[in-house]
Amino acid sequence: MILDKGRFTQWMIVVLLVGFIIHAGENAWLVMHRDLFILSLMFISFVAVSLFVFINRKNS
């Protein structure tokens, strides 16, 4: 696997997103804001899906 600048940037975005998910999830559970947790999960899954669709479209 060759890591060019574009792919490295994509992986950095994914890593940052995952970190944000975990951070938001922990905060939501600590404060017991279940709605906030569900909303953040929906937002993250939407972003992840659109990101992977964009990457796949770019590669093909």
pLDDT in tens, 28-48: 666 666 677 778 788 888 988
- Note the pTM of the prediction, 2 decimals: 0.41
**Would you say residue 18 has pLDDT above 60?**
yes
DSSP secondary structure letter of residue 1: -
Domain that holds residue 55: 5-59
Number of domains within the chain: 1
**Would you say residue 1 has pLDDT above 60?**
no
Report the greatest alpha carbon distance in the chain: 43
Question: According to the model, what pLDDT value does residue 33 have?
Answer: 64
Between CA 27 and CA 37, with CA 33 as vertex, the angle to 5 degrees is: 70
- For residue 49, give the nearest of 11, 14, 12 by alpha carbon: 14
